[in-house]
A and B are shown apart, each in its own frame.
Chain A
C-alpha cells in the first residue's frame, strides 16, 4: 500500500466515519481528516518531482476479472499539483463552511470528503474504467451539495449540473468500451502503447468519433463555450464551499482529461479538430469576459470569468506547443487558487449581508479594510498582474498560441484586457465609495477563521507568481514527453509545431 493509496482512500474512510460519528463532532472531524490528508499528500511531492515523467507510487491490482479491470493508479508531474490542490482546498472549504452551514451538518461534511475522494481518484487513475468510475462518483456529492445547501434556485441548478455532466459522460463510456473492444484492455498505459506501436490502428473516422466522445464529455466539464450554460447556474446556487470545489477542482477534471486522454490517445484527431476548438476557446474567452462585465450578481460574474479563464487553458492545450501546454496546466492551478479565493471572499460578503448583488454593496473598504485588501490582491491575481500567479500562466498560453497563430493570440489577449475591466469595475463598485449606514454596521472585518482560510491561497498566489521553479519543472517535463508523442504520431501533413518547443523550453 503506497502513500498514494492512503491519500486516495482516507477521504472515503472519512466519509464513512462522518456518517457514523455523532453530528456534533462532524465539523472538527472533517477538518482534522482533511488536514491529515493534506499533510500526507505533501509527502507525494518529493518522489514525483524527482521523476515527473514516470508514474510515481504506481499501484496495479486486479479489481474485476471479466472484463479485466485494474485498480491502476499512479501520479506524474501532470496530476501531482492537481492532487495537492484538491487536498489543500478541501480543508479550506470546510473552514469556509464552519458557520455558514447550519442544517444537516453531518451530511454536508461527509459529502465534501466523498467529493475529495472522487476528484483525487480522477487525477490518479490510469485505468480508463477506473477513471470513469471516479468521474461519475465525484458527480453525486456535488449534486447534493448544490441541491441541499444551495440558494433559491438550487434544485434547477443541481439537476442541470447532473444532467449536463451525465449526458457527456455516457458518450465517453461508449468510447471507453469501444477502445476496450479494440485493445482488449482498459489500461491506459497499455492502450497507449498499443496505439503507438501500431498494434491497434484506428481509422481516421473512428479516431475522430472517439476523440469527440471524450472531448464532448470533457468540454462540458471545462466548460467550453457553448456548453457552459450549466456553470453560472451551478455556481450562483451552490453554497460557498461547493462553488470553491466546483471552480477550483472539478472544472480541472475536464481540462486534465483533455491533456491526459484526448491528446495522447487521439493525436491525429486532436490536430485535425484543433482549429475549431481553438476558435471556440477564443469565443469563450471573449464571450465569458463580456458577459461577466454586465453581471449585476457577483457570483455570476466570477462564474463567467471562469468560462473566460478556462478558454485560455483550452487554447493553450490545443496550441500543441510546450509553452502553451505548460501555461495551460499552470493556469489550471492558478485558476483554482485565485477563483477559489474569489468565491470564498464573495461567500464571506454574502454571510455578512445576505446578498450577492453588487448593488447591495459599495464602500465595503471603509468598514472592512482587511477584506478589501485581500479582495484586491485576489482581483489583481485574477487579472494577471505580473508577480502574481495568473500572469505566468496567461503569458505562457499566449506565447504558445502566438507560435501557432498570431491572430488567435491577439484575440485571446483581448480577454486579458477585458478581465481587468470587469474585475476592477466590480472592485470599484463594491469596495469604494461611501458605505451606507446599514452596510457599515453589518460588515465586520475578516475573522480569525476567515484569515486562516484565505492566507494559504494568498501565499500561493505570490509564490506561484514569483518562484515558478517550485511547480513548473515537474509539469513541463511531463508535458514535453506528452507533446513529443502527440506531435510525432499525429497524422502526416499537419503542420507540426513541435520543432519550436525545445528552444522555448530552454529560453524559459
Chain B
C-alpha cells in the first residue's frame, strides 16, 4: 500500500481541531507550572482558542481531508461553527460559577475544549470510525464535566449515570458500525453509500439492523425517547453551566451525524422512517408531559430538551434537504436559547446551587428585571412565539414535515408545542406574577462574563427570529452541498 501524506490544505481543513487540542493541552500544562494566582487566565485562553477555531472553521475550504476520513462541507462547517460557539458561550457562562464554587481549575476549560474537538470531528466525519472516535472524545470529556465538582454527591450521581448509560449506548453504536462494515466491506461513508446503491447491495433487512443499532447510539446522545431516561438526572445533577453545554453541543453534533447517516444510508434509512416517526412523537409527548410535573427548573429544562429533541426528530423523519436545513436552523436557535436559559439559572442558583427550585424564581422580575426579561425571552422562544428563533425553528421543521406529507406528525407536534407552553408559562408566571418570597436571600448582580453570555444568546435568539435568512440561507445551501 503506497504511503500518501496528507496535503497542506488538509491540515488547514482540520485547523479548528488542531487549535483547540493545542489550547487544551497548553492549559493543562500551564496549570501544572503556574501558581494559583494566575488561574484567571485560563478562561481568556480558552475563549481566544475558541474564537480562533471559529475563524478557522468559517474560513476552511471544502473538501476531504486525511484519506477521506473527514469531509468538510457546508453542513460540517455549519455544525463546527455551531459547536464552537456553544463552547464559547459555555465558557463565558461558567467562569463566574467556577469562581463561586472555588473550583476554578484548568481542567474544566481543557475538558470543554476537548469535548468541542470531539464534536467537531463528529460533524465533519466521513467515516464510521471517525464518528465513533469523535463521539468518544466528546463523551468522555462530558462525563468528567458532569461530575466536575467531585465533592458534590449530585455531581457524582450525574456523572456515573451519564457514564454508565453513555458507554452502553456507545457500545450499540460500535456494534452497528461493525455490522455495517461487515455488510459493506468499508467504514467510509462515501463507499458505503455506493455499495448500498449498487446492484450487489446487501439485503435491506440486514443493513436495517445495522442502521437501527447506530440509531440507538445516537438517540441516546440526543436524549430521544425511549433512550431519554438519563437526561433529567444528569441535567439536574451536573453543574448548571455544564448542563447548558450538554444540552446544546453534544446534541447538535449527534443530530449532525444523524443527518449525515440519513443522507448516506439511502433506502436503509428510509425504512427506519416509522421508527423515527414513533421516536419523534414519543419524545415530544414524554418530554412535554413529564415537564409539566417538575418543580426543579433544571429538571424542567431537561424534560423540555427531550421534547425539543422530538421536534428536531420530526425534521429528521422528513428526510429531505429542507428537513436537513431545518435541523441546522433549529439546533442553532435551540442552542442559543437553551444556553441563555441555563445561564440565567446558573446565576439565580447562587453558590452551591441551592436555588434551583421553580419557586426560587418567584418575583425575579422585581429583583433583577433585566435577567428576568432575558429568561422570559428564552422561554418565549422555547414556546415558539413569533419573532424569536424558536418560532422559526419550529416553523421550518413543520414545514419540512408537511413537504414530506407527514401531516399527522405535524399536527400532533404542533399540539404538543401548545401543551409545552403550559410549563414554560409557569416559570413566567412565577417571575412576573408573584412577589419575591418572604426572606428571599439577596441575589447579587450577575458577573460581566455571564451577562455577556446571556445578552449574546438573547441577541442571537432575536436575530434568528427577525432575520432568520442569515442562518437559513446558509443552512439551505449547506444541506444541498
Quick check: which of A158-166, A267-275, A383-391, A429-437 contacts chain B, the rest being far away?
A: A158-166
A148 touching B433 by the CB < 8 A rule?
A: yes
List chain B residues, Cβ under 8 A from A16: none
Encoded as 1 (CB less than 8 Å from any A CB) or 0, chain B from 385 to 428 comes to: 11100010001001100110001001100110110011001101
Bound CA span A247–B235, Å: 44
List chain B residues, Cβ under 8 A from A178: 402, 407
A67 touching B399 by the CB < 8 A rule?
A: yes
Determine whether A252 belongs to the interface, using a CB cutoff of 8 Å to chain B.
no
List chain A residues, Cβ under 8 A from B407: 178
List chain A residues, Cβ under 8 A from B402: 174, 177-178, 181
A159 touching B398 by the CB < 8 A rule?
A: no
Determine whether B468 belongs to the interface, using a CB cutoff of 8 Å to chain A.
yes
Bound CA span A143–B402, Å: 30
Please provide the chain A residues from 136 to 171 with a CB less than 8 Å away from any CB of chain B in the complex.
Answer: 136-137, 139-140, 143-144, 147-148, 154-155, 158-159, 162-163, 166-167, 170-171
B414 touching A170 by the CB < 8 A rule?
A: yes
List chain A residues, Cβ under 8 A from B433: 147-148, 154-155, 158
Contact of B398 (CB < 8 Å), options: A144, A154, A155, A177: A177
List chain B residues, Cβ under 8 A from A171: 411, 414-415
Write the nearest CB–CB distance from A137 to chain B, whole angstroms.
Answer: 6
Write the nearest CB–CB distance from B433 to chain A, whole angstroms.
Answer: 4
Listed residue (B417, B428, B433, B469) with the most chain A CB atoms within 10 angstroms of its CB: B433
Supposing A148-B433, A158-B429, A174-B411 touch, asked if A137 and B387 sit within 8 A by C-beta, the answer is yes
Bound CA span A163–B429, Å: 13
Contact of B395 (CB < 8 Å), options: A143, A155, A167, A173: A173
Nearest A residue to B425, CB-CB? A159
Nearest B residue to A150, CB-CB? B433
Contact of A159 (CB < 8 Å), options: B399, B415, B422: B422
Write the nearest CB–CB distance from A219 to chain B, whole angstroms.
Answer: 16
Determine whether B432 belongs to the interface, using a CB cutoff of 8 Å to chain A.
yes
Contact of B386 (CB < 8 Å), options: A137, A143, A144, A155: A137
Determine whether B174 belongs to the interface, using a CB cutoff of 8 Å to chain A.
no
Chain A facing B: main interface SS: helix
Determine whether A55 belongs to the interface, using a CB cutoff of 8 Å to chain B.
no
Contact of B476 (CB < 8 Å), options: A66, A140, A155: A66
B386 touching A136 by the CB < 8 A rule?
A: yes
Bound CA span A144–B476, Å: 37
Determine whether B101 belongs to the interface, using a CB cutoff of 8 Å to chain A.
no
List chain A residues, Cβ under 8 A from B469: 64-66
List chain B residues, Cβ under 8 A from A143: 425
Write the nearest CB–CB distance from B358 to chain A, whole angstroms.
Answer: 14
Write the nearest CB–CB distance from B273 to chain A, whole angstroms.
Answer: 19
Bound CA span A65–B469, Å: 6
Bound CA span A170–B414, Å: 6
Bound CA span A31–B412, Å: 44
- Chain B residues touching A, range: 20 to 34
Write the nearest CB–CB distance from A374 to chain B, whole angstroms.
Answer: 33
Encoded as 1 (CB less than 8 Å from any A CB) or 0, chain B from 331 to 355 comes to: 0000000000000000000000000
A147 touching B472 by the CB < 8 A rule?
A: no
B429 touching A159 by the CB < 8 A rule?
A: yes
Determine whether B380 belongs to the interface, using a CB cutoff of 8 Å to chain A.
yes
Determine whether A132 belongs to the interface, using a CB cutoff of 8 Å to chain B.
yes
B432 touching A148 by the CB < 8 A rule?
A: yes
B476 touching A162 by the CB < 8 A rule?
A: no
Bound CA span A16–B442, Å: 30
Nearest A residue to B399, CB-CB? A177
List chain B residues, Cβ under 8 A from A170: 414-415, 417-418
List chain B residues, Cβ under 8 A from A154: 433
A166 touching B418 by the CB < 8 A rule?
A: yes
Contact of A155 (CB < 8 Å), options: B411, B429, B472, B473: B429
Supposing A67-B399, A158-B429 touch, asked if A167 and B387 sit within 8 A by C-beta, the answer is no
A144 touching B472 by the CB < 8 A rule?
A: no
Contact of A181 (CB < 8 Å), options: B383, B385, B403, B426: B403
B414 touching A163 by the CB < 8 A rule?
A: no
List chain A residues, Cβ under 8 A from B387: 133, 137
Determine whether A188 belongs to the interface, using a CB cutoff of 8 Å to chain B.
no
Contact of A140 (CB < 8 Å), options: B385, B395, B398, B467: B385
Write the nearest CB–CB distance from A239 to chain B, whole angstroms.
Answer: 13
Please provide the chain B residues from 134 to 183 with a CB less than 8 Å away from any CB of chain A in the complex.
Answer: none
List chain A residues, Cβ under 8 A from B385: 136-137, 139-140
A177 touching B395 by the CB < 8 A rule?
A: yes
Write the nearest CB–CB distance from B94 to chain A, whole angstroms.
Answer: 30
Nearest A residue to B476, CB-CB? A66
Nearest A residue to B385, CB-CB? A136
A163 touching B418 by the CB < 8 A rule?
A: yes
List chain A residues, Cβ under 8 A from B472: 64-66
B395 touching A66 by the CB < 8 A rule?
A: no
List chain B residues, Cβ under 8 A from A133: 386-387
Write the nearest CB–CB distance from A66 to chain B, whole angstroms.
Answer: 5
Bound CA span A139–B417, Å: 16
Supposing A136-B385, A173-B395 touch, asked if A64 and B468 sit within 8 A by C-beta, the answer is yes
Determine whether A471 belongs to the interface, using a CB cutoff of 8 Å to chain B.
no
Bound CA span A154–B432, Å: 12
Nearest B residue to A19, CB-CB? B373
Write the nearest CB–CB distance from A87 to chain B, whole angstroms.
Answer: 22
Determine whether A180 belongs to the interface, using a CB cutoff of 8 Å to chain B.
yes
Bound CA span A171–B395, Å: 12
Supposing A137-B386, A163-B421 touch, asked if A147 and B429 sit within 8 A by C-beta, the answer is yes
Contact of A167 (CB < 8 Å), options: B418, B428, B429, B432: B418
Nearest B residue to A134, CB-CB? B386
Bound CA span A158–B422, Å: 11
Write the nearest CB–CB distance from B323 to chain A, whole angstroms.
Answer: 13
Contact of A174 (CB < 8 Å), options: B414, B422, B432, B476: B414
B473 touching A174 by the CB < 8 A rule?
A: no
Contact of B380 (CB < 8 Å), options: A65, A140, A177, A181: A140
Write the nearest CB–CB distance from A376 to chain B, whole angstroms.
Answer: 37
Bound CA span A151–B384, Å: 28
Listed residue (A64, A132, A139, A166) with the most chain B CB atoms within 10 angstroms of its CB: A166
B421 touching A162 by the CB < 8 A rule?
A: yes
Bound CA span A180–B422, Å: 29
List chain B residues, Cβ under 8 A from A162: 421, 425
Bound CA span A147–B365, Å: 13
Write the nearest CB–CB distance from A344 to chain B, whole angstroms.
Answer: 24
Bound CA span A359–B433, Å: 30
A173 touching B432 by the CB < 8 A rule?
A: no
Write the nearest CB–CB distance from A38 to chain B, whole angstroms.
Answer: 25
Write the nearest CB–CB distance from A400 to chain B, whole angstroms.
Answer: 35
Bound CA span A178–B402, Å: 7
Mind listing 24 A-B residue pairs with CB under 8 Å?
A: A64-B467, A64-B472, A66-B469, A66-B476, A67-B399, A132-B386, A136-B386, A155-B433, A158-B429, A159-B422, A159-B426, A159-B429, A163-B421, A163-B422, A166-B383, A166-B421, A170-B414, A171-B415, A173-B395, A177-B398, A177-B399, A177-B410, A178-B407, A181-B399
Inter-chain pairs besides A137-B385, A158-B433, 12 sampled, C-beta below 8 Å? A65-B473, A66-B476, A132-B386, A139-B385, A155-B429, A159-B425, A166-B383, A170-B414, A170-B418, A171-B411, A174-B410, A181-B403
Q: Please give me the 9 A-B residue pairs with the lowest Cβ-Cβ distance, nearest first.
A: A170-B414, A133-B386, A167-B418, A147-B433, A136-B386, A166-B418, A177-B399, A166-B421, A170-B418
